A and B are shown apart, each in its own frame.
Chain A
Amino acid sequence: MKRIPLYLLIATLLTACASDPTTTQPSAQVEDRTQGQQPATPPSADTRPLVPPTAPSANPLQDPNNILSQRSVFYDLDSFDVKPEYKALVEAHGNYLATNPKAKVFLQGHADERGSREYNIALGQKRADGVRKILSLLGAKEEQVEAVSFGEEKPRADCHDESCWSQNRRTDFLYQGE
């Protein structure tokens, strides 16, 4: 079977969706004024890379294109379970620690501002400890990982509703030397 590049496949699917008569929006509702602002050359023709390629020796922990640069796992209310969408992130860190035995990471558990400050310290600890256990299953040594908690004391976002609380229920990865 002939291999079709993934991006072409996605583009085809998107086009198929857009041309679906049931989802087509009524036309001419909004006047299109973008025409005159288009660059002379369409951007698709410009193949120059916008970001210089990363040097092969660069630290993968700092490489924004590497999953290891993602450092937070977020949680549901009252929960300390690592949700499926963060499994890949935790696994990448576990594999990194297993293959870099000198690397050391602090797992900092956090809770949102509601409820008991002491219970939130314990809850943040349980969140961080849950991540620690996964890292250890993946081969990280005990001395490479310390799980601590800041409870509700170090919120990432300061407002008092779910839009901030959901950002504050988290475990952060902080590597030694960072």
Chain B
Amino acid sequence: MTSTRFAFLGFFLLSVAAFHARAALTIEITGGASLQIPVAIAPFAGEEAYRDKLSKIVMADLARSGLFKLIDTGGMVPPRMPADVKVAEWKAKGATALAMANVVPQAGGRIEVQFRLIDTVRPDIAQVVQLAGYSLPTNSAQLRLTAHQIADIIFEKLTGNPGAFASRIAYITKRGGTHELQVADSDGFNAQTVFSSREPIVSPAWSPDGTKLAYVAFDQKKPIIYVQTLATGKRQTISNFKGNNSAPAWSPDGRQLAIVLSRDSTAQIYTVNADGSGLKRLTQTTSIDTEPNWSPDGKYLLFTSDRGGSPQIYRMPSYGGEPVRLTFEGSYNVSPRYSPDGKSFVFIQRESGKFRVAVQDFISGQVQVLTDSSLDESPSWAPNGKMILYATAMLGRGVLAAVSSDGRVKQRLSTQAGDVREPAWGPLLKAKP
């Protein structure tokens, strides 16, 4: 690790203490990309009037990704207009780009955030080159979301890939005998309880539009599938057949759910319409067929089956039909999830008694193990495909962790007490100004 990396890490740990006092999940970074993009985030003009300091939220997002080196802006005069930017000075500080913004209050409690990203690589030019410029309408309750959207713009302009900071995560906490389904921003803030029970809750799944969560609850002493609308809290029973009802997975168009029922034999895969109607059985075996997951184009389902004698990952057309086995290494490969680009899938592989997150490429068949822990579960892609969120255990406690899809950057997310598990990373959010 280089000395600059040390300085960066030290800064980040300080920033964690300062900014995450109100976070339900504490996020700690445990790695970094080999090449980090140096970027300067100037304090935003006018942000001091609000509780949520946008530039700090943007900096924490970028730091957490492990892909950026944040340039110290101390001693620099924060520019208000592009014409104020002294490109050569920022370049001398090492920045390849400078983010600046004005936070402007409007009538009726509305706020306009005028954001610009300035190129600071080319020092010899007379005029300032703007990489991005957005006017983002918001309000004081939505400022954190606006900051995450700015971080997404910076991420996309500088890495070439979309960001995923303006998204939410769902997960289950267990404290004492209480199980809670919670939803939080991708940085662990704004945690809200969606459903609470004395009985277990598992397998939360986001609807593609991010307005609903499907999940499995045991409050009737057996697993039953529910769909809950987040804005209203309205909960609907989607599947309550004899035996188990579990493993809900939304189709990409949000019209159907693939589910797993044991009403006809062992666990088998079915589809239902999103309102619970139109049940159709897809697998016809006496083996375990579970954990269905739709391809991004909706044409295929990945699933776990023990039809070959041990749990392995298979793919079949989403209307049913002949499955193809995809995993062959080891005697336990489970929990497949398509990458957002459909080119690979993440899963849990057991090797020598250790359960780890692995990614397999569809074309080459090559498998890369991304973690070195031993009790990993429930991998879930960030909507941009750059990070994978998963559950693991540390000192006997359930924690969440995230790893970049190349395995280089790792984060750990933990609650102050109790266990946290079953993470599901939701879709990107649209702002509601």
Contact = CB atoms under 8 A, between A and B. Distances in A.
Q: Do A and B come from one complex?
A: yes
A44 B377 CA distance: 57
Contacts of B243: 125, 146-148
Contact of B290 (A78, A119, A154): A119
A115 B288 contact: no
A146 B218 CA distance: 16
B355 A114 contact: yes
A117 interface: yes
A61 B348 CA distance: 42
Interface in B375-417: 375, 377-378, 393, 396
A146 B242 contact: yes
Interface string A100-133: 0000000000000111111101110110010000
For the side of the interface on A, what is the size category? Answer: 20 to 34
B67 interface: no
Nearest to B311: A119
For the side of the interface on B, what is the size category? Answer: 35 or more
B200 A149 contact: no
A118 B310 contact: no
Interface in B153-184: none
Contacts, number: 93
Given A115-B348, A116-B335, A116-B378, A153 B218 contact: yes
Interface in A1-15: none
B149 interface: no
A62 B348 CA distance: 43
Contacts of B200: 150, 153-154
B266 A153 contact: no
Contacts of A149: 223, 244, 262
A119 B334 contact: yes
B52 to A, nearest CB: 35
B138 interface: no
Interface in A136-170: 146-151, 153-154, 160
A142 B89 CA distance: 80
Given A115-B334, A115-B355, A117-B202, A122 B290 contact: yes
B218 A116 contact: no
Contact of A151 (B202, B334, B378): B202
Contact of A129 (B262, B334, B355, B421): B262
A118 B290 contact: yes
B332 A121 contact: no
B246 interface: yes
Interface string B310-331: 1100000000000000000001
B32 to A, nearest CB: 30
B274 to A, nearest CB: 20
Contacts of B304: 116, 118-119
B267 interface: yes
B350 interface: yes
A160 B396 contact: yes
Given A122-B260, A122-B266, A150-B200, A117 B377 contact: yes
Contacts of A154: 200
Contacts of A150: 200, 218
Nearest to B223: A121
Interface in A55-84: 78
A123 B242 contact: no
A113 B397 CA distance: 12
B118 interface: no
A118 B218 contact: no
A149 to B, nearest CB: 5
Given A118-B203, A119-B290, A153-B202, A125 B244 contact: yes
A118 B396 CA distance: 20
Nearest to A146: B242
B378 A148 contact: no
Given A121-B202, A125-B262, 15 more contacts: A115-B355, A116-B348, A116-B378, A117-B202, A117-B422, A118-B290, A118-B334, A121-B223, A121-B247, A123-B288, A125-B288, A129-B262, A129-B265, A150-B200, A160-B393
Interface of A: 78, 113-119, 121-123, 125-126, 129, 146-151, 153-154, 160
6 contacts: A116-B378, A121-B246, A122-B244, A122-B290, A125-B288, A151-B223
- Counting from the closest, the 10 A-B pairs by CB-CB distance are A122-B267, A153-B200, A116-B334, A122-B288, A122-B290, A148-B222, A116-B335, A118-B247, A125-B262, A119-B334
